[in-house]
Every structure is written in C-alpha cells, then in structure tokens.
Structure 1
Amino acid sequence: MSRLLRRAVVGARGQRLGRLSDVIVRLRGTDYPLVTGLVAELGGRRVFVPAESVTDWGTEQVLLSSARVDLREFERRDGEVLLRADILGHRLIDIPRARLVRAYDLELAHTPDGWVLAGVDTRPTSWWRRALGLTRPAHDRHDADGGEPIGSGCRDWKAFEALIGHEPTVLLRSRAGRLRRLKPPQIADLLEEASGEEQTELLQQVHADPELEADVFEELDEDRQSRLLRDRPDAEVAGVLARMRADDAADAINDLPQERRQAVLELLPTGQRAKVTALLGYNPTSAGGLMGLDFLALPRDTTVAAALDRVRTATTLQPEALTTVFSLNDHGKLRGAVSLVALLQAAPTARLREVTEPDPVRVHPDADLIDITLLMTDYNLLSLPVVDDDDHLIGVITVDDALESTVPNNWRRREPAPHPDPADDEIEPSANQSGAPQAGQQPLSGAAPQPSGPDPT
C-alpha cells in the first residue's frame, strides 16, 4: 500500500491525470475484502475510479483503460472501507494475540475474484527505508509454510479486526464474528487500553451480542465499568445489568450516581431486582457483599446420579458455582459439601449424606475479606458457603471473586503476561478452505510467487 500511494494515475495514452489517494475495498464477511476501486486526486478533486478501469498498477504508475473519468466528488457507500483513511496507520485488534496493534503497511494480492486486501504489516518501517521510499522485500514476508512472518511482522488479514470508526460498516464487520473469538476478559482488557473512539466502536460491536456485553462488563475494573455505564441511558444500563451476575450487578448499581440507582433498579426484571436488592443490603467488602446467589443445594438423601443430573441441567447457573454441591437436612440447614469431581467418582446409587464432607466450613454475611481468604486458603476451597444465623445457605463466595477482591488496584494496571502465540491452524482455516490467495497468482509488486499463502506486495 505504501508503494501504491506514491503512484501517478495516467490515461491509456500515457497522459497524467492525477495521483492515487486511496484504495477502496468492500467488506465480504469472512472473505478477504475485495478492491472495488480507487480514489484519485484530479485537479484538486477526489474522484472514484472503478477497479475494472485499471489495466495495470504493477509498475510505477496506475494505468487506466481510458482518460475519461467521472469528475463527481467521491462519496463512500455503505460497506466500503478506505485502506489509507480507515486502516493504514490505525490500530487493529490482533485477534489471536488479543491486543491492539498498528497497521504500518498493507498487502494486496490477486485472486480469481480480483485484487483483495490480504495482509497487514504491524512492524514500523525503519527510518532509512522510509527516506529512500523502500518497503521490506515481498519475498521476506512469509516463511516457506506461509505461516509466521520472517522479521517483517506481516500477517494474514483474517487475524485482525479493524477499528475503522465508520458506523455504517460496524454491522457488516460484527457479522464476521472475529471479535467473538476473544474471551470476555480479553475484550475487557482491550477496552481498558483503547482510546475513546476505539472504545465506542468496540462497544458497538459487543452490543450486538447482549450476553457477551454483560460478560465483558463483569470483567471491567470498577472505575472503567462505572464510566462506561454512566454514559448510557437508564434502560440500556438495566439491559446490561439484567444479564450480569447478581453480585456484579449490585456492585455496578452501587457505583452509579445516587440519583440514578433507584431508577435503574426498577427497570430490572423482577427476579434479578430481588437478588440485587438483597445484596445491596450488605457491606460490599463483607461476605454478604462478595457472595453470589448461584449455588446448588439438595436434600441429603438425594442420590449421586440425581445430583449429577441437576448439575447437568443447571444451565442458568454460573459454572464456578457448580464446582461444589451442598446438602441440606430436612429443615433446610447446611449439613454437607462435596466437590463435583468427588460426585463423578462416587457410586451413582450412593446418597449425598454418604459422600459429602459433614459440617463444611462456612461464614456469616458479616465476615471480612481477610477471614474469607484465610479460610479458602487453609482449606483449599473453590467455594465458601455463606449462611444466616439459622445455618440456612444464602450464598456462595467463589474463588474467582475472592481473588478479584484481594488483588491490589495498582496491580490491575500492570502489563498482562504475554500469551503464547497460537499455531497457524488455530488462527484461520487453511488457504484452500478459506479462499486465501494462492501461490502462482500475480503479486502486485511483481515478486516471484510464494510457496503458499497470499501473494504479497
């Protein structure tokens, strides 16, 4: 792309018409974006040049089949992306590595459908190459297997999600689902690193999947979550909180301005509102404030087979809450606890009273964080039951909530440990499956065809 932007646009007889300003591609879901035209600067005006009018752009100029050009001012249509204005020099989401990177150069390659956007170079070009107008040689861009780059940082376009900032294309891009390959904590990390404009676009894409949106908001740090929710109307805030865990929703409501809390609370569904209201009565740093209301407690005469069936069908409970099953006596009091692994290893006909640990460790709602963490550490607990004065089970503290509460706030700002780079076959389908440009097709730069992968330029 950096080479193209320096080239003159000339007519069929060699007459100079102007200079190439940008390249237009059309998004095609999971396929490579197709080049549909160019934007040329002619006499101080930006005009559209259809891709089919270009007969040659592999030399030092862009040759058109005719000198006749529509001189109306170029206007972008829905689904169109401008490579220079929208992507080159902008940040993208590196999906396999779950981080924001910058596009320093782009690769175009020829396919049976036409020219496509095939690759992204995420490493800046050295100053001396920029001064001499050079880019890294195309044949150095990929290894012999078409996989990891050799030095250049240029990789397959399908490994990235663009943050284009052009609202009409957001829906088209979100349908491709690349962002949904990331886990909610990874998307939350991206939001915390992103600029204001990048945050807006990320949230637009996440908003298309309400369940994912709720999971992402649960993972945000309190300050960021509070700022993002405050910018939304009450109905939208309630829509997000309705899908969050009740304990996280209660924390989010506590972080809202006082004058908005009741209005948002009243917009919640009845069941969620009852849970959140109950949790709001506890100190946020106590066991009552930390506990979740998802747990599985069964009569102690329940068989192991029946208990496992209840675990299997408890699809509305968070998975962390199902690592332990609790048993109750005839009066509904807590009498035992058993891990899911122990249940799986027990005889199906055995009763819970026979396999549960009697008199399990528990705390009252007013227990503080130090007591909670010491108990969970000393007894190697994945979940800690919370009981009332009558020994009735009212909630459970899971180990992830305990860890989150004990991590110092300044640690959250630390650079996360790097993820091991995934194997190529875990990032994208093979070239033959995905429709990637194949070897033997003409690269724009005129370099020799590569053994596999997109023909680079």
Structure 2
Amino acid sequence: MTESTTVGEHTGPEATTISLSDLLRAPVVASAGETIGRVVDVTVRLRGPDAYPEVTGLVAAMGGRRVFVAARTVDQWRPGRVTLTGNAVDLRSFQRHDGEVLLRADVLGHRLIDVAAAELVRAYDVELEHTGRGWSPVRLDTRRRPRFFGLFGSNDVASVRDWRSFEPLIGDGRSAAARRVAGRVGALKPAQIADLLEDADRAEGFEILDRVRSNPGLEADVFSELDSDKASQLLDGMPDADVAGLLGRMRADDAADAIVDLRQSRRLRVLDLMPAPQRVKVTTLMGFNPDTAGGLMNTDVTTCAATATAGEALAVIAAATTLAPEALLKVHVLDEGAHLVGLVSVIALLQSEPATAVVALMDSDPSRVDAAVDLADVALLMADYDLYLVPVVDDEDRVLGVVTVDDVLQATIPEDWRRREPAPRAVRAARYPS
C-alpha cells in the first residue's frame, strides 16, 4: 500500500491510495505531533453517476464528542494516521448536512445496486484515491473478508470494482435527493427492478421504488413483475390513493391480482378510488377463478368491424398505445352484433394493400375458449396450435378478453424456477480515465 502525501493545495504522487479500513480508528495528529482524536468516519459529497464523489472531510472522536474536520485542514492522509495543517480544530459537535454521505455509516456494510448485473451487493471496504484535485472514493470491495478487514491484497479483481459501477442505496434521508440524481435504476428493465425489490429489505425496497416513481408507467410495469407477497408488502406501506393510482395504470389482470392480495379492509377503499373504466375491468376479472382463462385474461383487446379494410385495422393497432404489445399481435374481427367472426394477424395486415378487405385476410374459425376453461387446457391448446394468444368469449361468442402466451408462462412456470439464482458470470472491471 503506497502512503499518501499532502492534499489540497499541496503536491504529491500521482496515484496514491488509502483504504477506508486503514483510516478508521486512525489517530488524528496535530501539526505539533500531538494526537488529538481518532477517525470515526469520512464524509463525501456525491457528484452524479459519471463522477467520483468528493471527500469533504472526516469525523473525528475528540474528548467524548464527534467533530468535523474539513479536508482543507488535513495536511497528510496516510494509512493509520491523519495529520492536520494546524494545532486547533472546531470542537462543535458534528452535524450531518443535506446531501452529505458518510462512508462508514452509510456505505460500509450496506448494500448498493450493481447496475451492470442488476443485483444488490454489499460494500465491505472503500478505496480512496488522490485525483490531483483532492481525495475521492474510487473503488468498492464487495467481498466479505473471512478473518480480517483488509482490502486490496486479494487477487479477486471481480470483487474490487469502480465506484461508478454501483448505484448508491443508502437509507439516510438527508442524502436522498443527491442519490436520486443518477437515475440509472430507471434504465433497468421492469423484471430486473422487480428482482432487486424482491431481494431488498423494506427500507431498501421503498428507496428503489422512489427511484422509479417519476416514471408512472415503469412503476406499474415493475409491480406487474413482482411476486404477490412482495407486492403486498410494498402496497401495505403506501396510502390508498397512491395504490389506486398505481393499479389504475397496470394491466387489468395484474391489477385484479394485486387487489385480491390486499387486506380485505382496504379492497373497497382502493377500488372506489380507482378510475371508473379500470375499476369495472378489475371487478369483472375478480369474479373469475384465477386458475381459469377468465382469471388469466387481459380485457384490453383490439377489434375492428367485419367491413373494415387492412388499412383501417392497422389504424386501430396504431391508436392502441396503452395496450401491451403482445395483445396487439392480432385484431379481433366482429360482426354488427359484436360477435367474434375471425382473427387477423398484424403480419397479414402489413403485407396486404391498405384497401384489402379484412374478411379476405382473417382466420374465420379461430381457436377460442370460454372463461371457465382451466389454465392447463389453455396452455395445451396454445402449445398444440402454436398460438400466441387465445380469445376468451362468452356463450354468444362475444369477446371478454384475451389470454397471451406470456400470461400462460407466468402462471405455469414454478415460482422457484422464475426466481432461481442465475448462473455465475464473470464481471469485468470497468476502466475509467483518471
């Protein structure tokens, strides 16, 4: 380990490093040589996802109190010793400021989001480096040491990685706004965010949700991917109005599942607060057994009249911006009485002239099921006929909804398969210019 020299306005070697573990409990020494305290933490200011945080100072234990020592008053940072430029310090008790992060209290032993792997990892040590303009935390060690708190003697490069590979996930409210700025959680896929939530504890879960709340559509998609127990736990911590707004943005079948998992005392309150069209869809779905086509279906479907042309049918698809993409694979063709008379695929419509009649392109005898058909029978039907979706109809062939292949997969794949640990993969340490 190379020792550092002076910082701030002083000059020193180009690439000096210190581990946080070598600073904690180190003596704070006045310029005259007297030990006046010991390091208990290091303070930093976050500067966004593409920049290293800036070390602003340290917290030292002095005479039974904790005081702040500004970085500009530190002459030398060395493993096991911090030397000041003078002999006096401000003895007022340390008070955390908004946006301030404490490396030991907030990072060490806490979990962060590994953005590339989309998983939560725990930080066991931090490497500080002198960048030429000051000190910054530049690397994290995410592997627990079995016997001692040493840091960078390990050859396990996968566990020692660039600070910027991670998204801070720290519980202190005074740094929440600074942590939210990065915004990289919102770039993950809904299923990846759901996996993070299912691995998170309660405090971590609400912080992750706070990162996606600015994108209501993404938040709804994330809840659609959550297992029922975790979704219920998170919904229990939200006000009724927020729950109703969230469920109002979800697919009706997913919202119905979430409503059923709410405490019975909340269901009616939340339903009453939901937008009327969504409430009707949800209450309709709640009337079906969840293991049947009716309980599984999505009530949002695309339809056109039997008199429509290919161009008009494509316009219906183009206008259906709120529907899930898998529900747009085929258009349901209805007669004047709203009975199902055929299905036409998007591919057939795209490959035809706009003026072509839909009835000339449609399957006039499509597979369909009634709402009481068991999930297993729906799955077998789709497998036997290579179907991506199946209409659900009533006794008069009026369309109630549609079951899509993703619904069937989600319902039939065992839960322990869906959430099993991924195969180990090598993590390449990112290289960033200093």
TM-score (norm 1): 0.84
* Cα separation, partners in 2 of 1:43 and 1:366, compared to 1, 3 Å: same
Counterpart of 2:14 in structure 1 is none
Listed as ranges, the matches of 1:51-450 within 5 Å are 51-58=71-78, 60-111=80-131, 113-127=133-147, 130=148, 134-137=150-153, 151=157, 153-412=159-418, 414-418=419-423, 431=432, 438=434
Q: Report the AA paired with residue 66 of structure 2.
A: R
SS at match of 2:39: strand
User: Deviation per CA, 1:199-223, whole angstroms, max 9, x where unpaired?
Assistant: 2332333434333222221111112
**Deviation at 1:136?**
2.2
Contact 2:158 2:426 in 1 (8 A): no
SS at match of 1:38: strand
- Farther-moved stretch of structure 1 (33-42 vs 192-201): 192-201
Counterpart of 1:39 in structure 2 is 59
- 2:396 & 2:133 partners in 1: Cα distance? 72
* Cα separation, partners in 2 of 1:134 and 1:123, compared to 1, 3 Å: closer
- 2:151 & 2:185 partners in 1: Cα distance? 30
Contact 1:97 1:419 in 2 (8 A): no
Query: Is the aligned partner of 1:26 residue 2:45?
Result: yes
SS at match of 2:181: helix
* Cα separation, partners in 2 of 1:422 and 1:307, compared to 1, 3 Å: farther
- 1:200 & 1:168 partners in 2: Cα distance? 15
Contact 1:94 1:159 in 2 (8 A): yes
- Bigger RCO (CA 8 Å, 6+ sep): 1
- Farther-moved stretch of structure 1 (237-246 vs 280-289): 280-289
Structure 1 unaligned segments of length 5 or more: list them: 142-149, 432-436, 439-457
Counterpart of 1:442 in structure 2 is none
User: Deviation per CA, 1:229-285, whole angstroms, max 9, x where unpaired?
Assistant: 233332222122111111111111122222322111110012211211222222222
RMSD over aligned CA atoms reads 2.4
Contact 1:188 1:217 in 2 (8 A): yes
**Deviation at 1:45?**
1.6
**Deviation at 1:228?**
2.4
- 2:421 & 2:306 partners in 1: Cα distance? 44
Aligned residues: 414
**Deviation at 1:394?**
1.9
**Deviation at 1:420?**
5.7
- 1:417 & 1:352 partners in 2: Cα distance? 45
Counterpart of 2:3 in structure 1 is none
SS at match of 2:157: coil
Q: Report the AA paired with residue 89 of structure 1.
A: G
SS at match of 2:143: coil
TM-score (norm 2): 0.88
SS at match of 2:402: strand
SS at match of 1:242: helix
Q: Report the AA paired with residue 255 of structure 2.
A: A
